Amino acid sequence: MSRRTVSFEEIPVSDAHAGPYALTTGPDDALWCTLVHAGQIARLAPDGRLDRYSLDSPSCGPSLITSGPDGALWFTRNQDHRIGRITVEGKATSFSLPSPGSGPFGIASAADGALWFTQMHTDRIGRIDTDGRVTEFPLPLTGAFPSAITTGPDDALWFTLNQAHTIGRLGFDGDLTLHKLPTGNAAPVGITCGADAALWFVEIGAGRIGRITTDGRIDELPLPDPACRPHAIVAGPDGNCWFTEWGANRIGSVTPEGHVEEYDLPSPSSEPHGLAFGADGALYVALEIGVIARMTP
């Protein structure tokens, strides 16, 4: 492990109460960011222009966001239990879910042309097509807290079960496999598909980075600070995976071989959450203090 000093540019997108939370790059090459406490979606254009779009409920809790197969952005509304959609022009709509109080959180675009999402409070994985039709897949667990979700190299959906300390795999046909993690109280959250065709995830409870192959082999890498609370993770164009350390105010990277580097953020207690690579190849990080940080390549 090494820690290096790098340059960050901080781009204000809101006040400290709005809560920039998750990021994705849209089909328009802009960065799209959820403002979880303000009920808004922000768009940061490549030329630096910032637009903020208010949703129909300021308390809907927009959480994770992804590009959909229809050229729009799709996101979870964790507090009013809906799935949201916003066009690149800023027109927003939303869809209700069959299970009341489901608490959708993670969302990913899949190879079947639909969006798949987790339901934290009802132990379900959901699927929504671009017309708004929803199918739900109940999990054989109670209180598992399904969190982040991603498409794997096998086209299946891979997701974290935060309170069951488990990684799940769900096929399009509903075939489910659960992989219990070796470390107790690992509490996995973010998950991504790495350049090495494995799934990489963070263990917020144990301060570790995990890796699981499609045949279920798990490796865990302890981070130098067990209390750093890694939160989100994304695969980078450099072949490494990049993650936020929410409890330590840092960004980390890990190579496929397991070498970790860490980078201190410039503002103290900035609460880094989601992160994404922009169309310019730079890494962008959502900071809850109201800023998107751009890490100089």
- Please state, in angstroms and rounded to a whole number, the distance separating the CA atoms of residues 138 and 234: 27
Torsion angles phi and psi, residue 8, rounded to 5: -120, 140
> Burial, 142: exposed, middle or buried (Cβ in 10 Å; 0-12, 13-18, 19+)?
exposed
Residues annotated in a binding site for substrate: 231
Asked if residue 119 lies in contact with residue 126, where contact means CB atoms within 8 angstroms, the answer is yes
Q: Which helix (H) or strand (E) holds 217?
A: none
Query: Are 236 and 295 contacting, i.e. CB atoms less than 8 angstroms apart?
Result: no
Helix (H, G, I), strand (E, B) or coil at 163: coil
Q: Could you tell me which residues are annotated as the binding site? A: 231, 271, 288
Active site residue 37: no
- As annotated, the binding site for Mg(2+) includes 271, 288
Q: Exactly one of 37, 81, 165, 273 is catalytic; which is it?
A: 273
- What is the Cα 237 distance to its own chain's centre? 17
**CB neighbour burial string for 90-111, b if at least 16 within 10 angstroms, e if fewer:** eebebeebebeebbbbbbbbbe
Supply the residues annotated as catalytic. 273
